[in-house]
Amino acid sequence: MTTLPPKHVAIIGAGPGGLALALALHAQSISCAIYEQRLRSLKIGGAIILAPNALRVLDALGLYDKIRMMGFNFENVTFKDESHATMNSFQFGNEHLYGFSALRISRQTLVHELLTAVEDRGIPVRFDAKYSNLISEDESGVSFQFIDGSIESATLLVGADGIHSKVRQCMYPSVKPVYSGQLAIISLVRRSMIRFPEGIDYPLPVVIYGTRGAFLIMPQDIGGESIHAGTQQAFPERDKLGWDSLASSKSELTELFNANLQWWPDVVKSCVEATTPENLTIWPYYFVPKLKHWTSEGGKVILLGDAAHAIPPTAAQGTCMALEDAYTLALVLSRPSTQLPLFKALAWWQNFRQERIDKVLELTTQLGSLRLSAAERAELALQTNQTQDDLIRAAGSDLQWLYSANLREEVLSWIEHNGR
């Protein structure tokens, strides 16, 4: 019977989840090392929202005070219609209610700060290390191999390698990410290029609802001058080569981004007009089907973050959930007890995390419905016996469960009652 804590943890993936896990394990005096397939020099695109639940984790890891000045701090996203009337708002953070505002930050900046903290603590990070397969798994631990033939060993192996996880692929060969049918088309523009209507309060971020969907205008730097502008639309799935081809075809992306231009108000038209083809990117929304187990049969391989439960980004909780996974897993692994076997602790941890993931998925579905076209929203409202206004009000009406949860207290309380 394997007991806690483990002697050494190998982490596959140096994204936010893997790096946060390394920091959390180090804080609990558990040895670990990180293996990342990308080259160190590779830049990571995109930006993310960190809600209070994620910022609380980063605060516990000693990073919040530094990163809060590296992005756009805000509390609400405002919903407006085509005539600029305010329909409602959704709260992504509130310092008074939850202890933190929300933070919009580039993914590259977040990963850089996490990686710097990891290396400052002397935690080994090996880049250009492409995971291949598990060689053995027994009571003493695991050994595993990389594409270049090198072999490593550890007490536990954690797959934090994203939605297309190689670690998960070895555990569940038949499980593939599922395309949601929705494609986001995104651009970066300067705020000074946007024609906001005169005499109307237009707080940012804002989501503008139109007959053909929703358009998001979201600042992403501390001064609010760099603007993420984008929309989503139904789009047929492509394979990897097809998505890569679309992403590199700036003419096709421009055509997609301009598709419904005549239906949008002038503020949206100005965003589209300010866009240069090289600033256009896409994000096909995929999710991972619910897994029965996040651990291998031998109990020594564990999945977390998008590798275990990737969800569409409409509730901005993908990275937040990965950070929660990392922080809580480190707490679970850190408490030595001869009465608490590893398999029991990990089974509880998965159930504890899955309950929150399920609620986040429900919230994601609610918010996702608000980005549909007017016809699609009307059909959904009819199916659920709600008005379109009901759909907006229902999304995020109570967020204390998400933003104010004391994860540390919940984990340690369970260990206290089950580890004696």
pLDDT in 10s for each residue of the chain, 420 residues = 566 789 999 999 999 999 999 999 999 999 999 999 999 988 888 899 999 999 999 999 999 999 999 999 999 999 999 999 998 888 999 999 999 999 999 999 999 999 999 999 999 999 999 999 999 999 999 999 999 999 999 999 999 999 999 999 999 999 999 999 999 999 999 999 999 999 998 999 999 988 878 999 999 999 999 999 999 989 999 999 999 999 999 999 999 999 888 899 999 999 999 999 999 999 999 999 999 999 999 999 999 999 999 888 888 999 999 999 999 999 999 986 777 888 999 999 999 999 999 999 988 887 766 655 555 556 655 666 666 566 555 555 678 999 999 999 999 999 988 865
Contact call for residues 227 and 189 (beta carbons, < 8 A): yes
CA torsion through residues 158, 162, 165, 171, sign: positive
For residues 127 and 15, the answer to whether their CB atoms sit within 8 Å is: no
Give the pTM. Answer: 0.93
Q: Which of 165, 219, 239 is nearest to 13 (CA)?
A: 165
What is the amino acid identity at position 320? C
At the second CATH level, the architecture of 8-43+107-177+288-418 is 3-Layer(bba) Sandwich (3.50)
